[in-house]
Amino acid sequence: MNLADSAPVTSNLLGSEADSQRTLYPYVTGTSVVGIKYKDGILLAADMGGSYGSTLRYKTVERLKPVGKHSIIGASGEISDFQEIMRYLDELILFDNMWDDGNSLGPKEVHNYLTRVMYNRRNKFNPLWNSLVLGGIKNGQKYLGTLSVPRYLDHPRAAPRNTRRPASKERHPRSHRCSSIFPGESTF
């Protein structure tokens, strides 16, 4: 029996040290992304903070990424879900480049693809917890679109179809108009 036989066996299936460090802080979120379409192009801006709860944990998280030749995407929400979205997009762009036909995906096509991806994940009850802003220019056409987890996932009155009752002001006192801080205005 030699020394190699008596050493403990470590499996790569359990993950490396880098993998275990990623799971120490599983809930890292980013806040705001702004997209503006103007006369000469598209502008996207985002901060670089990654928050763990209410604490700013990471100060250099990039939440704006290029997608192909014509698009850029920005994300708020769960950073790990944004990384997964970027893996999907990298695979899509690689597949598109393999055709080598001179065409490349524009922002409308990428937006359409992401709409389907987020819908698919939502139907599997494993949604991607991100709000995305996608912008770009292809053939002189400016495009700016958004994607997000639907509002009904965190709506206070969400219920299965068979238990939902019609809303009335008597049952739901919060369903009336709220007053605004500005005189003469009201908000919902």
Q: Which residues are catalytic?
A: 23
The alpha carbons of the chain give a radius of gyration, in whole angstroms, of 23
User: How many angstroms separate the Cα of 46 from the Cα of each of 50, 107, 118, 119, 122?
Assistant: 11, 19, 21, 25, 25
Concatenate the DSSP letters of all residues of 109-150 into one string: HHHHHHHHHHHHHHHTT----EEEEEEEEETTEEEEEEEE--
Q: SS3 of 152, please? A: helix
User: How many angstroms separate the Cα of 141 from the Cα of each of 18, 37, 45, 76, 124?
Assistant: 42, 11, 20, 25, 34
φ/ψ (deg, to 5) at 8: -65, 140
